Structure 1
Amino acid sequence: MTYMAMMRVIFSLKAVAERLSSELRKGDTVARFGGDEFLLILPDLEVIKNSIHIAQKIIDSFRAPFFIDTHQLVVTMSIGIAIYPEDGICEGGLLKNADSAMYQAKHAGRNCYRLIMRTKAKSASPEICP
């Protein structure tokens, strides 16, 4: 990959992080998790529908393309949602369940969100937190 191509990738990831941040509340966290995956930590959500509302806001905000140099870049979102403590009591369980829900969203055609299926999350082996 050329230097300019790498700079475009870095700019793109930064632009995605900024757009994600613009849709969140003060006190929420956006972190690049790896590759093109981002982790959002949304503390103090009172009900599940609040996380669904935020997920839909994010998807809607990414309908607008990014412009990098002379290129237009459309980014789709596949969002997996896991809620503490229903879907995991420590980081590992929450990440695993959010990741599983994200892959469900990808398989559903992208540009959507999915909640982890509660029956699947509860029937999984119990978490052992460090």
Structure 2
Amino acid sequence: MNTTGPFLTLSTESVVPERETPDAGKVVVGQPMFTTWNVEESPDGKLFAGVWEATPGTWSISYDEWEYCRILSGVSIITDNVGNKRRVTAGDSFILQPGFAGTWEVVETTRKEYVIRL
């Protein structure tokens, strides 16, 4: 976590990455791996910001939290439970609100900046 003061950059240089996989029951296709550099966490534990990367695969998603994302690299397809698909690539930004559910498919390893509010 970056604790250098009130002005923070989303730099991954001094952050130890966390590596994980989605829960086995959520994986639809492949063996996606996640790497997360959580740069900031608010004192109350309700806001997080950092960089996340995932390798190819598809898994189910269900949001209880609010998340702002900006894609830095790669290609992903986010599909809601109704079947609406959104292809996201470098430069795209979007918000996933509580209640959003569907799948996240990483076509090409995808890296994003995120801000999550619980």
Which structure has more relative contact order (CA 8 Å, sep 6+)? It is: 2
Q: TM-score if structure 1 supplies the norm length?
A: 0.28
- Of Structure 1 and Structure 2, which has the larger fraction of its residues in helix? 1
Q: Which has the larger radius of gyration?
A: 1
Q: TM-score if structure 2 supplies the norm length?
A: 0.29
